[in-house]
Amino acid sequence: MQDQDIEYFLDEGLIDGVIRPLKQGKEASVHLCRANPRTTGHELAALKFYHPLDRRDFRDETLYRAGEFIKERRVRVALEKKTRFGREVRGGLWVYREWETLCKLEGTKVPSPDPIASTDDAILMTYIGDFDVAAPRLHEFRPSSPDELEGLWIQLLGAIEHMLFHDVVHADLSPYNVLVWEGKLTLIDVPQAVDPKLNSHAQDFLTRDVQRLGSWLDRAGFHQPWEAIAGDLWTGWLHADLVPDDLR
């Protein structure tokens, strides 16, 4: 399947080849590609392949998909009964949700990769880094001063606010899903993102996102009332008072 996906992006004139792997994960792998600037506007791109179904370490999607309705009864039943067809649908939904969320965030002030193209099993997106080095994840980053830590938190808070402003909660945000490049942060890995208007667990996800980031910042020496911050964010969204500072 991976070879077919590569052929698709080659045939569409979006990439000229795969350079090297960047990350191997439980559910997907990411590869650096030489992009076609005439069709993508970029010299390099990141290609995320979701593993074959029998290799994916699926989490329980029940909480993440709460509130969503699938119109086709056959698909709903297959998902509920966890048939092979249902598992295939579930795998496709995981890819589709990430693509859908990246498209929704494109052009907003949320720092996330821009989507370029997708198949049922892969997503081509903009790459963060340069030819020699990919952007490190936040958990690998070592801030040099308290001011730098505070600056990172200001960026993180702004990103979360902007996502929430556009009715998106990441729902799996942690220092492992944030890239750092030239002082700027980028949020990645959004297949499980939820719409707080639909998902009854969105507030819990938001609180967990903030607390996970807060735990890393605490260990680095920067402390804030993380749970209270999450509560304020949710209250602001709930009462339609949440407007990020740079949009006021």
Is residue 58 within 8 Å of residue 72, measured between CB atoms?
Answer: no
Q: What is the CA radius of gyration of the chain?
A: 19
Helix (H, G, I), strand (E, B), or coil: what is residue 39?
helix
Choose, from 189, 204, 209, 218, the residue flagged as catalytic: 189
* Among the listed residues 31, 34, 28, the one whose alpha carbon sits nearest the alpha carbon of residue 10: 34
Is residue 191 within 8 Å of residue 101, measured between CB atoms?
Answer: yes
Residue 11 appears among annotated catalytic residues? no
- Strand pairing class (122-126; 44-50): antiparallel
Is residue 183 within 8 Å of residue 223, measured between CB atoms?
Answer: no
Residue 132 appears among annotated catalytic residues? no
Choose, from 172, 204, 232, 246, the residue flagged as catalytic: 172
Helix (H) or strand (E) holding 102: helix 84-105
Tell me 192's DSSP state.
T
Strand partners, 118: 123
Give the contacts of 120 (CB within 8 A, at least 6 positions apart). 92, 95
Helix (H) or strand (E) holding 165: helix 146-165
Positions marked active-site: 172, 189
